[in-house]
Amino acid sequence: MAYVYYNPNPSNKRQSIGDCVIRAISKIFNYTWDRTYAELCVEGFQLKDWGNSNEVWDSYLRKHGFKRNVIPNTCPMCYTVSDFCHDNPNGVFLLATGSHVIAVVDGNYYDSWDSGQEVPIYYYK
């Protein structure tokens, strides 16, 4: 259960461009950043919304067999990304915090910065 640096952005840009959804989805599907960006844009075009919007990437993930689950509200401000990884050492997940998205694969979280102390609200499996 560890943080693993992951930034597939071909220009090596980081969080300043708001591409966390693209980075996370590229990791869980093992796609390039360019492919992921293009596929989310197509999904957004079909839904008449921006490819980075929650509705678009939710639809995209559901079409690929992912199901959305809510994090139990037992301790809403103390359950972190790191805690989720510890509790889920196997599997592929996409965590959402409300303002950020993180890929989790077999208990490790992949991001361009250490987001382990962020508080997830829901996840896709």
What is the domain range of residue 81?
3-124
- Residues forming a β-bridge with 4: 110
- Is beta strand 108-111 parallel, antiparallel or unpaired with respect to 3-5? parallel
| Predicted pLDDT at 84 | 96
**How much is the pLDDT for 75?**
81
Q: Whole-prediction pTM value?
A: 0.93
User: What are the tokens at 46?
Assistant: 């079909």
Q: What is the pLDDT of residue 1?
A: 76
- pLDDT per residue of the chain (125 residues) written in tens, 0 to 9: 799 999 999 887 665 568 999 999 999 999 999 999 999 999 999 999 998 899 999 999 999 999 999 998 888 788 999 999 999 999 999 999 989 999 999 999 999 999 999 999 999 99
Number of domains in the chain: 1
